[in-house]
Amino acid sequence: MQMPELTGGAGALGWVALKAVLLFAVAVIGLRLGERRTIAQLSAFDFAVAVAIGAIIGRGATASDTSFATSAVALVTFLVAHRVLATLRRHSRVVRLIDHPPRVLVARGELQGGELARAGLTTEDV
């Protein structure tokens, strides 16, 4: 008894697995070529790229109307755009547009209540 609603056709399952592995490999290689900050220090634009990478891998692997090449190009485009933006962050004007200014949470050994509140943190968080 066949249940195409559950299996989608045995031949297609192999292609899904192959596309998933290939897209995963492209993502891993792209992330390894990028700077460490990509995963280690998630700023707003790092988070956006991480979500986009996950969405591309998930959709590209499972969508029958999306080729590996299409997904790989989208993935590489996001990784390159992230790298360019990370490089541009070294300039003060770009940093002011992208990053939040640093907050001093502890000064002279004392928690700064106002800065904690602005950062959305409690004393227990620190």
Of 21-25, 46-50, 71-75, the least confident: 46-50
Asked if residue 37 has pLDDT above 80, the reply is no
Round to whole Å and give the CA distance between 63 and 52.
16
Burial of residue 65 (CB within 10 Å: 0-12, 13-18, 19+) is: exposed
Would you list the domain boundaries of the chain?
Answer: 4-90
- Give the global pTM: 0.64
Instruction: Kindly state the DSSP code that residue 104 receives in the 8-state scheme.
Output: -
The percent of residues above 70 in pLDDT, for the chain, comes to: 84
pLDDT at position 57 is: 92
pLDDT at position 40 is: 54
Round to whole Å and give the CA distance between 34 and 76.
11
42 or 103, which is more confident: 103
Q: What is the mean pLDDT of residues 91-111?
A: 78
Work out the pLDDT band at 68, boundaries 50, 70, 90: very high
Instruction: Kindly state the DSSP code that residue 107 receives in the 8-state scheme.
Output: E
Instruction: Say if CB 46 and CB 82 are below 8 A apart.
Output: yes
pLDDT at position 38 is: 47
